[in-house]
Amino acid sequence: MAFGIAQGIIASGKVPPSNIITSAPSMNNLPRFQERGVCVTHSNDEVVDRSRLVFLAVKPHLIPKVLNGISGNVTQEHIIVSMAAGITLETLEGLLPAGTRVIRIMPNLPCMLLEGALLLACGSCAGQMDETLLKALLGPCGLVEAGPEHWIDAHVGLSGSGVAFVYVFAEALADGAVKMGMPSALARRIAAQTILGAGVLLRDSGKFPAELKAEVCTPGGTTIHGIHALEKGGFRAATMGAVEAATERARELGKK
């Protein structure tokens, strides 16, 4: 995810790659940053000392350790941006010097292809200028929206985890075609293109999902019979339940 964010910032044209620095404990993930012209190090302190905007792209359970390690180097000039699911703004601010500007942002996997969906929420000391700066830098990553913090966990369920839900659906679509006699490799390619095309149309048409669905469903036709089968299988309720379950898990992580 850190690489996707870096790619978006580079694509914005507002920051040259040489002005970006990333750290990791090993070299496993750093070569691809180097290939883009990004500076690399094994020192978190060096990143903070050389940067004004600092992204925390670590697992939630590592946040306290990382922030305890860098807090002595954080100044009023810094903006700290966390991508850790479940870790609240209050927790982040409590681990950093008083007055630190903190922003939570939740990206999703397609950010790596600059087709992501990102939601951000500002802490008590971060202002509109900080939000505007982050939106401008991350705009190339995909859709960037802002809102209150309690939307973040729902965004995890909708878009963060939702990517995997779409993959399950894609797999099921392809399996259905294989059952009906289509070669597996072809079925996977067509399933992927079907989801891509449907998503672009939904995003760009300005129409509600129900409107687009109605345009495909002719009376007595194939699609309405298929949708009836989905409804009998509890597809809609299962999808809503999946978003709810992922959201609740994100909330649980924030309480640990």
Query: Which amino acids are annotated as binding site, given as ranges?
Result: 44, 57-60
Collect all residues with Cβ–Cβ distance below 8 Å to 102 and sequence separation of at least 6: 79, 80, 81, 82, 89, 92, 93, 96, 122, 123, 125, 126
* Binding-site sequence positions for NADPH: 44
* Binding-site sequence positions for NADP(+): 57-60
Structure tokens at 189: 């390619």
42 DSSP 8-state letter:
S
What DSSP line would sit under 80-133, residue for residue?
Answer: EEE--TT--HHHHHHTS-TT-EEEEEE--GGGGGT-EEEEEEE-TT--HHHHHH
Residue 13 zone, left/alpha/beta (φ > 0; ψ -120 to 50; rest): left
Collect all residues with Cβ–Cβ distance below 8 Å to 170 and sequence separation of at least 6: 188, 191, 192, 195
CA–CA gap between residue 123 and residue 91 (Å, rounded): 10
